[in-house]
Structure 1
Amino acid sequence: MSVTALKEPPKEARRSGSAAVVRLAAPATRARPSRWPAIARNVAVSVLPPLVMVVLLGLLWELLCSGPGATLPPPSRIWADSKDLILDPFFVAGPQDIGLGWRVLVSLQRVAVGFGLAAVVGILVGAVIGQSVWAMRGLDPIFQVLRTVPPLAWLPIALAAFRDSNPSAIFVIFITAIWPVIINTAVGIRNIPQDYRNVALVLRLNPVEFFWKIMLPSAAPYIFTGLRIGIGLSWLAIVAAEMLTGGVGIGFFIWDAWNSSRLPDIIVALVYIGVVGFVLDRLVAGVGAFVTRGTSAA
């Protein structure tokens, strides 16, 4: 805390004894510390360790795969053979000759439809099941059995039912992602505190109001846990399904590159798949953290 200094009155005012205006010096202001050092430190802590590990693994990979008996290409060869795919992911040279960026977008469109349907249906079904002990006990074993079925095992059934590759791929995403959403939503509904239910009875909330004002906010942490698992399974399912259904998705690109013996292109596509999967997971986790802030289970 600074002390305000009083300026000495002029000599003329002291001699004449007349009143004079005493001007106060401006209070000293404390400079606010800059936030940039803290931000830079946080970025360094988050980015530098993964970056260093990537560089070290890349050097190790280069050393192990540069010998005469190596069966996998080193990073230097991947860069030389697939430089165009890395530097220009959105080129268009023909109906089937497009960049990996466009192929990822095609796959993401299918994931958005299939995962969106799984989220809506899964939350509604899970909310209904969570309200009934009998339904929970009767359907939970069935869900546990169905969720262990591999995604590609559903593909022949989907192709037989829809007679088209695109809706079949979307169905595979839907049937793969819906189970964790249903199960986690039902568990979240079962764990709603009894006090919340008593408040709903006192306020005489109808079922729709109870769903929006009590059930969803209380079960939101569980729901987003299921959604986070579901988005990862959706991305895994579409890549696997596209290898068999064809088209222009990222999965078919990997299968086509394998048939053409283009291992560098396959490795580049794998990096794309991993980065996109990481971004999807972080996106759902970020939305979940924002929506569930302040809840009792968050």
Structure 2
Amino acid sequence: MQTFLELIRNPFYDNGPNDKGIAIQLGVSLLRVFAGFLLGVLIALPLGVLVGSSELLRGALNPVIQLLRPVSPLAWFPVGLAAFAASEKAAVFVIAICSLWPTLINTAAGIASVPEDYKNVARVFRFSPWKYLTRVLLPYALVYILTGFRLGLGIAWMVIVAAEMLSGGTGVGFFIWDSYNALDLNRVMAAILLVGLVGWVLDSVLGYALRKVRV
């Protein structure tokens, strides 16, 4: 507890590249998480709508999704490093790849479960594709989509620690690894506690949004 209090007592100090306060480390990690998560959403959301709308596409892509979804984030890091030749971009790439699956799967499930009555009403009123998407599909699937966001963001926050241990530099994952190398397990445990608290806050925010939508 003493080490934890020391970390949060002066969280914004900056003594060089390898010695920064825990708030700076968490801030860098959160920026990477949100960048990777948003990139994953931009890929997963439209693809989930397409997969959920077409049984043929769902059957074709499901084996690919089930094949890639369980791959460890540590396995994706060398791919990102080879593609972008920069550890910072590789970390964002890993977060995007690992966090997009819940959004894709839940969006597809929500779109596929739209009742036939809703579809028939849209046909009767001759909704355009855009109006059908924004007035029928997305509103009905919103709970599914937000659930996917919640799961995906949780995965992104878990993945960042592993990615930053490999990428080095700054971030809470690097902080934990650097503290371990310095044999300071108290700082490791204090940082793990902070990671858990931040993850709890992120999950609570999306959980609150999900409850509001369900009401």
TM-score range normalised by the length of the shorter chain: over 0.9
Contact 2:87/2:167 (<8 A) preserved: yes
Q: Which residue identity is paired with 2:158?
A: L
Measure how far apart 1:263 and its partner are. Answer: 0.8
In the other structure, the counterpart of 1:178 is 100
Tell me by how many angstroms 1:114 deviates. Answer: 0.7
Write the letter of the residue equivalent to 1:130.
G
**1:113 aligns with one of 30, 35, 41:** 35
Q: Which residue does the alignment assign to 2:209?
A: 287
Please list the CA deviations of residues 121-174 of structure 1 after superposition, one character each: whole Å capped at 9, or x if unmatched.
211100011111011112112201211001111001110111001110000000
Deviation per CA, 1:90-115: give whole Å up to 9, x if none: 22233332111110010000111110
CA contact (8 A) 1:129 1:136 kept: yes
Cα distance between partner residues in 2 of 1:279 and 1:133: 37
3-state SS, counterpart of residue 91 of structure 1: coil
Tell whether the 8 Å contact from 1:228 to 1:281 is kept in structure 2 after alignment.
yes
> Given the alignment of the two structures, is residue 251 of structure 1 paired with residue 173 of structure 2, yes or no?
yes
- Runs of 5+ unmatched residues, structure 1: 1-74
Q: Is the 8 A contact 1:250 1:269 kept in 2?
A: yes
User: Would the aligned equivalents of 2:43 and 2:100 in 1 still touch at CA under 8 Å?
Assistant: yes
The answer on whether the counterparts of 2:143 and 2:210 sit within 8 Å (CA) in structure 1 is yes
Amino acid at match of 1:250: V
CA distance in 1, matches of 2:189, 2:93: 28
- The amino acid of 1:293's aligned partner reads R
Rounded to whole Å, the distance in 2 between the matches of 1:165 and 1:293 is 40
Please state if 1:219 is matched with 2:141.
Answer: yes
User: Alpha-carbon deviation of 1:82?
Assistant: 5.6
Residues 194 and 139 from structure 1, CA distance in 2 versus in 1: closer, same or farther, beyond 3 angstroms? Answer: same
**1:164 and 2:91 matched:** no
Equivalent runs, 1:1-298 vs 2, <5 Å: 75=1, 79=2, 81=3, 83-290=5-212, 292-294=213-215
- What letter corresponds to residue 132 of structure 1 in structure 2? S
Return 5+ residue gaps in structure 2 as ranges.
Answer: none
Shift of 1:227: 1.0
Post-superposition CA distance 1:219-260 (Å, at most 9, x none): 011111111110111011111000010111000011111111
User: What is the distance in 2 between the residues matched to 1:123 and 1:289?
Assistant: 21
> In structure 1, how many angstroms separate the alpha carbons of the residues matched to 2:200 and 2:144?
20
Larger proportion of helix: 2
1-side partners of 2:200 and 2:145: how far apart? 19
TM-score scaled by structure 1? Answer: 0.70
Aligned counterpart, 1:67: none
The structure with the largest alpha-carbon Rg is 1
Counterpart contact for 2:143–2:214, Cα < 8 Å:
no
TM-score (norm 2): 0.96
Percent identity reads 44
RMSD between superposed Cα atoms in Å: 1.3
